[in-house]
Structure 1
């Protein structure tokens, strides 16, 4: 039996590394009741504070620690005080508050997901105060503020999209383990995660989001794809061309494989019409498309709702 203490030994001093803290996934629903026709906003908000909080870790001294509950209460109150018309604007207000008004805080990260609702239709008309949850994508935003600047990343996730033709995959590298057959007509499907980094905060956030989503869907549909990688690049390129306020676009796409099912054993011809939709394992394709003169991203991509990066 091997001894786990055999092998190289490190003798350096043990120190506290990178750290941050906050209140994750506050579910906030804001109803606007200014008229008989109500409006709804439904979000999940994660707040994260950065600074010198070493005393809390090393000594248990909480004198510089704003409780995570206080962060939660601020997020709820700001849903009324500042409003939830655009999640990017709401995130900016929260982040600036924590950095500017809470002395020990040197940086703040706010991550937001927005869930969409559609008005219920009753007797042929939209109802004023009843909604049905929409099943499309989740809108996202991440705002970072510190002494060096402000960074806003917009985005979406869970945009499930499929086209039944206009996609090929051939000419790939083969080795002794390759069994995949080449195809010149396949179903291409994915659940897109797309994030884009702004170069300014002077933005019509909702209008830009609508434009970007429209461009993503249009490019996916119209580009004749030789690989999912190619499609991701073309999406990122098209989004940057349409939106000059963006420095870069990051895309992640699981390949939701659809394999033509063998019906020949039943004497039935399957001319690329019946498929087995496999949920796992799946190829995961990721890419960044950026401008050559894009400014440094700083901490824009340093996430909170995940491990430290």
Structure 2
């Protein structure tokens, strides 16, 4: 039997970093989780254990901390690009770098006091190749939204295993995970773009009379693409957080869509992408 080495990468996952910027008595914080993955001329380490081409994952972690001190941490996309380009440029054996960052928000409670934001997490994934191509995916996750009405579900396939009853009035709730791709990574207004895409996703969810979660997903992505010319593709993953009306008839009570059981699993998972017709191919950048 003949075998060969397939696609591979390695790196340091979840380097926790908090950067404090001190402006006199007023402090600013950046709280991020950084994961790096490198690939390239790595055959020898797999086949013979020769580590000559390997930049240790501990060194990758230390680079994150050193760059945070030397360059600061502004927009997470810019910091990820800085790291990815450094790894590829600094070592001839490294042909591709992937950097993923999650950012956790804090609300100010005083000049140097903060309360952790319980909302969504801002994210980004950056890829950089030795050929100089960079791909930037901005995003968010755990954006929990709900419509208490204005959602229907009916007209679906019915087979011998179907027990779900059609409805013209249901709760629609989900935790949105979204990523969007920038056409020009070095010219993208990451901060304002993030705020605008987030606004579009929320407004489209709230303003759509939904006949399916798939329809809502498409409308949300379409709204973001229409409002943000710097974005060429949006991908969404939206678990359907089911809410089932509770049968109160044993207690002599009616229930006209007022009391629900919120089920956490199993759940429907709706995923999809919407892109401009002329959007360039992103290849494996979504991985």
Q: TM-score, normalised by structure 2?
A: 0.97
Instruction: Report whether the alignment pairs 1:196 with 2:185.
Output: no
Partner of 1:50: helix, strand, or coil?
A: strand
Question: Residue in 2 aligned with 1:212?
Answer: 197
Question: Residue in 2 aligned with 1:3?
Answer: none
Q: Name which of 133, 141, 155 aligns with 1:157.
A: 141
Paired with 2:284 and 2:236, the residues of 1 have a C-alpha distance of: 18
Paired with 2:253 and 2:72, the residues of 1 have a C-alpha distance of: 59
Cα offsets for 1:138-194 (capped at 9, x unmatched): 110001000331100000011111110111111111111111111111100001111
Question: Residue in 1 aligned with 2:3?
Answer: 14
* Alignment map for 1:105-184 (pairs within 5 Å): 105-120=94-109, 127-148=110-131, 149-184=133-168
Unaligned runs of 5+ in 1: 1-10, 121-126, 303-309
Alpha-carbon contact 1:41-1:114 (below 8 Å) kept: yes
Alpha-carbon contact 1:144-1:299 (below 8 Å) kept: no
Partner of 1:96: helix, strand, or coil?
A: helix
Q: Name which of 64, 67, 73 aligns with 1:84.
A: 73
Offset of 1:20 from its aligned partner?
0.8
Q: Name which of 27, 37, 44 aligns with 1:48.
A: 37
Paired with 2:195 and 2:37, the residues of 1 have a C-alpha distance of: 28
| Deviation >4 Å, runs of 4+ | none
CA RMSD of aligned residues (A): 0.9
**Higher share of residues assigned helix:** 2
Paired with 1:95 and 1:247, the residues of 2 have a C-alpha distance of: 22
Unaligned runs of 5+ in 2: none
Partner of 1:33: helix, strand, or coil?
A: strand
Q: TM-score, normalised by structure 1?
A: 0.90
